[in-house]
Amino acid sequence: MRLSVVQPDLAWENKSANLFKLGNLVSSLNGITDLVILPEMFNTGFSMQTDLLSESPDGETYHWMKELSGKGGFGLCGSYMVSEEENVYNRWVFVAPGEEKCIYNKRHPFSMGGEDKFFTPGKSRLVFSFRGVRISPYICYDLRFPVWSRNKNDIDVMIYAANWPAGRKNVWNILLRARAIENQCYVAGSNRIGTDGNGINYSGDSMIIDPRGEIITSADSDLEQCITSEISMDELFDFRKKFPVLDNADNFAINI
Q: What is the DSSP string of 134-153?
A: EEEEEEGGGGG-TTTT---S
In order along its 256 residues, the chain shows pLDDT tens digits of: 999 999 999 999 999 999 999 999 999 999 999 999 999 999 999 999 999 999 999 999 999 999 999 999 999 999 999 999 999 999 999 999 988 899 999 999 999 999 999 999 999 999 999 999 999 999 999 999 999 999 999 999 999 999 999 999 999 999 999 999 999 999 999 999 999 999 999 999 999 999 999 999 999 999 999 999 999 999 999 999 999 999 999 988 888 7
What is the structure's pLDDT at 232?
98
- 149 domain-assigned: yes
| CB-based contact 121:91 (threshold 8 Å) | no
Parallel, antiparallel, or unpaired: how do β-strands 128-130 and 87-95 relate? unpaired
Q: How far apart are CA 199 and CA 223, in angstroms?
A: 18
Q: How many domains does the chain have?
A: 1
What is the structure's pLDDT at 72?
97
Task: Please report, for the domain that includes residue 38, its CATH number.
Answer: 3.60.110.10
- 254 domain-assigned: no
Tell me which residues are annotated as active site. Answer: 40, 106, 140
**What is the SS3 assignment for 13?**
coil
Q: How far apart are CA 249 and CA 6, in angstroms?
A: 33
pTM score, two decimals?
0.97
- 208 domain-assigned: yes
Q: How far apart are CA 243 and CA 74, in angstroms?
A: 32
C-alpha closest to that of 185 among 149, 151, 144: 151
- 256 domain-assigned: no
- 123 domain-assigned: yes
What is the structure's pLDDT at 175?
98
| CB-based contact 120:144 (threshold 8 Å) | no
- 177 domain-assigned: yes
Tell me the chain's radius of gyration from C-alpha atoms: 17
Strand ordering across the sheet containing 215-218: 128-130, 133-139, 157-162, 186-191, 207-209, 215-218
- 103 domain-assigned: yes
| DSSP label at residue 249 | P
- 255 domain-assigned: no
CA trace torsion 43, 79, 28, 23 (10° rounding): -30
Q: Which domain holds residue 12?
A: 2-248
